[in-house]
Amino acid sequence: MSNKDDVSIKILEINEVAFSMKPLSEDINKLEFEKNLLYGLGFNLNIDLKSNTFKIRTLVNYAVYTVNNIIVSSEVEVVFLVKNLTKVVSTDEQTKEMHIRNEFLATLIGVCIGTSRGILSTKTKGTPFAKVPLPIINSQDVVLKMKDSQISKQTS
């Protein structure tokens, strides 16, 4: 039995915002991460404490070393309904800065990465990119990097 004060998360929507894929040149016959393929990952957070919704847009880009250009780009939005959101997200009244608990954010980021991986897998079926799904990514490491990036932006 769950407590009425517990935080619970429900996915309300999954939306494919954008997808693009350019053809590969014929001299590239095998793709491999860290050899000739890079991926980039970005997140945009939108939090509404009144409606208890937490939206995360995940941007994934693939680039081939020799091409120096984004070859695959995907943007996916996941909308979460979070019961008792204020237990894991707080706002500093003076600075208007939001503070999000790491474990909570890591859970949502993990869902978003997996969702993006699935959509990329579906969209790239039958192409050379189908053989290089988005790797397993530690969502806790992603959150720590996001927070470090935010701290360095504030001190710059």
**Owner of token pair 């095998």:** 30
Query: Does 88 score more than 70 pLDDT?
Result: yes
Domain CATH code at residue 101:
3.10.420.10
Q: How many domains does the chain have?
A: 1
For residue 2, tell me if it sits in a domain: no
Q: What is the mean pLDDT of residues 2-30?
A: 86
Contact in structure between 116 and 14 (CB atoms under 8 Å): no
**Owner of token pair 């990329």:** 120
Query: Does 156 score more than 60 pLDDT?
Result: no
State both tokens at 117.
């991986």
Strand partners, 78: 14, 56
At 17, which amino acid appears? V
The mean pLDDT value of the chain amounts to: 88
For residue 3, tell me if it sits in a domain: no
CA distance 109 to 138: 9
Q: What is the mean pLDDT of residues 96-125?
A: 95
Q: What is the mean pLDDT of residues 78-82?
A: 98
- Give residue 121's domain range: 8-155
